[in-house]
Structure 1
């Protein structure tokens, strides 16, 4: 396949994903605007919100608005701090209750127009850089993961690279890769420039779910060794129906498998598999031997921080809304990170809480030495900002945060462009 045709196929796939990931446009839009442009306040300050309802780009009037204020709680409900209703006027404003601790406050407004309900929310932050994690660091955390790395080092990698001619272009070679991991395999898609030379490398770690992967053709054409991995120990070039069946069956809710057994928790093999991916990159003759970046979003954002915390060979990381951060947040009356557990008697068991600490991104963030670029929004109800700030605030390495306040669990194209520009420049300088 030539580069032009392959690029067209990838563009169609990405556009389909984009349509699913981005918020759909509605006939009526409820706009909630805080009186601070950065959506950020000092503790004890009273935020004020302007409410407007737009249809056909024209503000509506004289309709009832129901509103409520609550702490950021992800998609779980914790408590309502205040609620009420009013008739919409030309310049309707409501004041929020005072918020007296670092965290996030969400204002939700709902209207009914022509028998259909429309709703929206805006989340503001109160000194989020002062948020402290609720989880704690186990005394044997380093020992536990050092033992895991020793176990991995004893497993011969035995890489198997299978050229995928149908995906190759005039400039890029594409391979399906199989590696030995602890208790199984790790698979991925490797893309490399055809032109002889030594190149910096980028490891792409995946968001949650079970799916095929296609590799980063454009990235390799820009002069990078690019490796995209799956985490489930199965080939990543199978028919989509295989992954759909796994998601609905054996791998349903995999993120909490063996949560009461730290030696067999699902993510142990996953985290060590990310180290194995770095081992593989280091073994490639096209790699320049020096510069490795890692990037991903959600679960991939979590894995980016985990691998940077475990493996000093990572030089740079770029993470969108890292999941698995401060998972015990709900036990402290605020939102915990995805997968939003510890909310009922089934999960709120001491052994599960203790095991989670060995896998919580906050505790890996404490060990990150790689320079990092981070980005998320205040409105994310999957990886709540309280949880992501909990991880970000303990990072001592050089870092920069780019907040796109209104984003939920998705990104603007401009965010991804910023990420790419930053990561590419760092790796090539």
Structure 2
């Protein structure tokens, strides 16, 4: 539903907190020490499709993590463009290149602990009292950077035609991919997660995605004595703070009924983007699957397809 007052605020909103002074220095140092693994495994799988090859990719990443991704590649003699697809919070995916986020029920392992299955509750706040270098999502963001670097170097990949795409957590990671790696040439983010944490706390606990923030204070710090420390650390994984690093074109899709990743927090990301950008509002949509008209539009943007979006005015009106 369109709220004119809130829409007016969102159009200029950049978030409740400023970016840390050393934010770019922090991330530049993190990226600089990443070593792209040479001992990765790329295994062809029996995919039973005549025009495509499916691979499973595994590689070692930061803090002892082992990352798993799927690649689906057309059988062509020339190098091919790549779309990096990232799944939402607590899930796993399958696309051209699709990475399982460590600790979220997929095949990626979460560091030296090597916990199999789901460790998702607490991922946002893990390490938040120990400094930005200890944040769980810091490691995930570097997993994304490493994945892009590794795939870009594969023989069958056109490293100049890389794109990123996802929704919710996946939308955040699609933006992170572009923010940390200039190889990404275009990005589509649908209702991105992980932004403007102070505003999230002010709005209240309306969904499971951010529930761990509220549980932390309710059961560990009910007087909010560590709130400033926590938020200052989380600022280093706040996607709105990474947005200014993105140089490629970005399309964002925002559902105005979203009570998981609130529209105003998504606009904090959008308004911090410095390059070519465009947003698209869906007034009746919340944090949910979007229909085929949205999917067709997204893949027209990313893949250069020309799937026609029929006009409900002209294409379905005929002269009587």
Q: TM-score range by the shorter chain?
A: 0.7 to 0.9
Partner deviation per Cα, 1:226-267 (whole Å, 9 max, x = no partner): 2110110799469xxxxx9722xx443333222222111111
Give the secondary-structure state (helix, strand or coil) at the position aligned to 2:25.
helix
Instruction: Determine which structure has greater relative contact order: mean sequence separation of CA pairs < 8 Å that are 6+ residues apart, divided by chain length.
Output: 2
Corresponding residue for residue 279 of structure 2:
401
Distance 1:235 1:290, change over 3 A: farther
Provide the TM-score with structure 2 as the length reference. 0.82
Corresponding residue for residue 55 of structure 1:
none
Q: 1:413 Cα deviation (Å)?
A: 2.2
Partner deviation per Cα, 1:123-160 (whole Å, 9 max, x = no partner): xx33421223112211111111122112213x534220
Please tell me whether residue 302 in structure 1 is matched to residue 172 in structure 2: yes
CA–CA separation in structure 1 for the residues paired with 2:280 and 2:183: 25
Please tell me whether residue 181 in structure 1 is matched to residue 61 in structure 2: yes
CA–CA separation in structure 2 for the residues paired with 1:321 and 1:340: 17
Give the secondary-structure state (helix, strand or coil) at the position aligned to 2:170.
helix
Q: 1:283 Cα deviation (Å)?
A: 1.1
Structure whose residues are more often strand by fraction: 1
Alignment equivalent of 1:146, drawn from 28, 49, 54:
28
Corresponding residue for residue 115 of structure 1:
none
Please tell me whether residue 254 in structure 1 is matched to residue 123 in structure 2: yes
Corresponding residue for residue 392 of structure 1:
270
Please tell me whether residue 322 in structure 1 is matched to residue 202 in structure 2: no
Partner deviation per Cα, 1:26-62 (whole Å, 9 max, x = no partner): xxxxxxxx7xxxx252x4xxxxxxxxxxxxxxxxxxx
Distance 1:308 1:335, change over 3 A: farther
Corresponding residue for residue 109 of structure 1:
none
Alignment equivalent of 1:351, drawn from 225, 229, 235:
229
User: What are the equivalent positions in structure 2 for 1:109-128 lying under 5 Å apart?
Assistant: 125-128=7-10
Number of aligned residues? 287
Partner deviation per Cα, 1:138-186 (whole Å, 9 max, x = no partner): 1111111122112213x53422011111x24100000111012112221
Corresponding residue for residue 195 of structure 1:
76
Give the secondary-structure state (helix, strand or coil) at the position aligned to 1:204.
strand
User: What are the equivalent positions in structure 2 for 1:365-380 lying under 5 Å apart?
Assistant: 365-380=243-258
Alignment equivalent of 1:275, drawn from 145, 158, 178:
145
**1:189–1:236 Cα contact (<8 Å) kept:** no
Query: What is the aligned-residue RMSD (CA, Å)?
Result: 2.5
Corresponding residue for residue 425 of structure 1:
304
**1:203–1:294 Cα contact (<8 Å) kept:** yes
Corresponding residue for residue 339 of structure 1:
210
**1:159–1:179 Cα contact (<8 Å) kept:** yes
**2:91–2:105 Cα contact (<8 Å) kept:** no
CA–CA separation in structure 2 for the residues paired with 1:313 and 1:408: 32
Give the secondary-structure state (helix, strand or coil) at the position aligned to 2:199.
helix
Distance 1:131 1:201, change over 3 A: same
Q: 1:195 Cα deviation (Å)?
A: 2.1
Corresponding residue for residue 158 of structure 2:
288
Give the secondary-structure state (helix, strand or coil) at the position aligned to 1:370.
coil
Q: 1:339 Cα deviation (Å)?
A: 2.1
Please tell me whether residue 172 in structure 1 is matched to residue 41 in structure 2: no
Distance 1:352 1:288, change over 3 A: same
Moved over 6 A (4+): none
Structure whose residues are more often helix by fraction: 2
Distance 1:234 1:279, change over 3 A: farther
**2:19–2:235 Cα contact (<8 Å) kept:** yes
Distance 1:252 1:140, change over 3 A: same
**1:188–1:236 Cα contact (<8 Å) kept:** no
Give the secondary-structure state (helix, strand or coil) at the position aligned to 1:190.
strand
Provide the TM-score with structure 1 as the length reference. 0.62
Q: 1:425 Cα deviation (Å)?
A: 1.5
CA–CA separation in structure 1 for the residues paired with 2:259 and 2:182: 32
CA–CA separation in structure 1 for the residues paired with 2:107 and 2:76: 25
CA–CA separation in structure 2 for the residues paired with 1:370 and 1:418: 18
CA–CA separation in structure 1 for the residues paired with 2:304 and 2:204: 35
Distance 1:340 1:359, change over 3 A: farther
Gaps of 5+ in 2: 109-114, 306-320
Corresponding residue for residue 87 of structure 2:
206
Corresponding residue for residue 43 of structure 2:
162
Gaps of 5+ in 1: 1-33, 44-102, 104-124, 217-225, 239-243
